[in-house]
Chains A and B, each alone.
Chain A
Amino acid sequence: MVFMHELSIAIGIVELAEKEAIKGGGTVIESIELEIGKLSGIEIEALDFAWPIAVRGTMLANAKRTVTSPPGRAKCADCGLIFDIENLFDSCPKCNSYLKDIFQGKDLKIKAITIDG
């Protein structure tokens, strides 16, 4: 069994991008910029696999896709230190607390699209 929530998400991207493109008066989406944080729970490889299936026959069929993947950043809830995190279970390097506010790296966003016209 293949677990592929990335396909659902790819289709979600297509639906959102098309809606916005139509709102902007476009008929074709030439390129799309995505932000997929390192802690977003999305495997880029799985998204790559799902992408052609999701865009087939849509305004994004020939769109160039660029992805930025911001690394995880967190603020320790105990000592206030701001630090990089690679895993959701990383602790504060200064006071070792696991209580933290992750403020970067979890986002899944369409940053921009380029439409015709």
Chain B
Amino acid sequence: MCNTSTPNTIIISSPGDANVNSHHHGHEHSHSHDHSHIDGHGRVIELGKDIMQFNDVGAARNRGYFDAKEVIALNLVSSPGSGKTSILEKTLTELKEELNFYVIEGDQQTMNDADRIDALNIPVVQVNTGALCHLESDMVYEAVKKLNPKSKSVLMIENVGNLVCPSKFNLGEDYRVVIISTTEGDDKPIKYPDMFEGSDICIINKIDLLPYLSFDVEKAKDYARKVNPKLKFFEVSAITGQGMDEWYKWLKSIES
């Protein structure tokens, strides 16, 4: 008998939910079999199959759903503490009269971020990934079902704060937005190239702090362009609002 392997519970919930619905992620191997004989006279099956298909199939399904409903989905990724949630809060506050927003919050633990979004009266679902360091497409699917977004809306998916792991997991989004802040090193783009390579937009946050820091904006952009020459940049401060208008203009342009 085998009962494996990494019991990790994914929790998908909205602020105010009495009962949260959770599901075990993936891996319940209920079959039983005899492992004792390996005689080396096996049969070879050539596969050549992409390992990431377990996630990519779900991403394609999400994408189909988004397209059918004319939902524009953005996947927001960054290190912890670069200001994803602050940018999101500011954006939702400023644009909620003009755009229909829905939010999925990904964190390993707590409802804190969902509560911040809920306070703005924006529909939000929190995904707690437990031990997992990234969102996967099936979690987004479950969260989207719960959100049931209206057509012609914008879905903001705030990924788990982590500049490494989410890069491998397509969620079916239209745009991936990578956020770095001036309190980080300006060489982040070449330290974590995978994330920058797979992104469409790069937001540089906390530019109001530049006078106090050694962060070189042009250098950071140069590094990022080396990894991905097609990246589009916004330099903003979510706190002071500096530079946010350009970002809003872009958001409104993709929605229409």
Contact B47 A57 (CB under 8 A): no
Question: B residues 149-189 with Cβ under 8 Å of A?
Answer: 162, 164-165, 167-169, 189
B-side contacts of A113, CB under 8 Å: 44-45, 47
CA distance A111 to B3 in the complex (A): 27
Contact B168 A58 (CB under 8 A): no
Size range of the chain B interface in the assembly: 35 or more
A-side contacts of B34, CB under 8 Å: 27-28
A-side contacts of B167, CB under 8 Å: 41
Question: A residues 79-110 with Cβ under 8 Å of B?
Answer: 87-89, 91, 98-99, 107-110
CB distance from B69 to the nearest CB of A (A): 28
The residue in chain B whose Cβ has the minimal distance to the Cβ of A11 is B27
Contact pick for A57, options B2, B40, B133, CB 8 Å: B2
Given A5-B134, A56-B5, A89-B193, the answer on whether A28 and B51 have CB atoms closer than 8 Å is no
Q: Give a binary string over B1-16; 1 marks a CB under 8 Å from any A CB, 0 the rest.
A: 1111110000000000
Contact B194 A88 (CB under 8 A): yes
Contact pick for B223, options A11, A27, A89, A108, CB 8 Å: A89
Given A88-B227, A98-B229, A116-B37, the answer on whether A3 and B54 have CB atoms closer than 8 Å is no
CB distance from B233 to the nearest CB of A (A): 15
Contact B42 A108 (CB under 8 A): no
Contact pick for B44, options A13, A57, A114, CB 8 Å: A114
Contact A62 B35 (CB under 8 A): yes
Q: Is A69 an interface residue (CB 8 A)?
A: no
Contact A115 B229 (CB under 8 A): no
Size range of the chain A interface in the assembly: 35 or more
A-side contacts of B45, CB under 8 Å: 20-21, 24, 112-115
Q: Give a binary string over B33-68; 1 marks a CB under 8 Å from any A CB, 0 the rest.
A: 111011110111111111111110000000000000
Contact A110 B26 (CB under 8 A): no
Q: Is B29 an interface residue (CB 8 A)?
A: yes
Q: Is B190 an interface residue (CB 8 A)?
A: yes
Given A89-B223, A89-B226, the answer on whether A28 and B49 have CB atoms closer than 8 Å is no
A-side contacts of B43, CB under 8 Å: 24, 26, 114-117
Q: Is B132 an interface residue (CB 8 A)?
A: yes
Contact B5 A110 (CB under 8 A): no
CA distance A64 to B190 in the complex (A): 35
Contact B27 A7 (CB under 8 A): no
CA distance A109 to B132 in the complex (A): 22
Contact A53 B51 (CB under 8 A): no
Ordered by A's residue number, 14 sampled pairs between the chains whose C-beta atoms are within 8 Å are: A5-B164, A7-B6, A11-B27, A12-B51, A15-B26, A56-B2, A58-B2, A88-B193, A88-B227, A108-B51, A109-B47, A109-B49, A115-B45, A116-B39
9 closest cross-chain pairs (CB), A and B: A57-B2, A5-B165, A12-B54, A88-B193, A114-B42, A89-B226, A108-B51, A57-B4, A30-B42
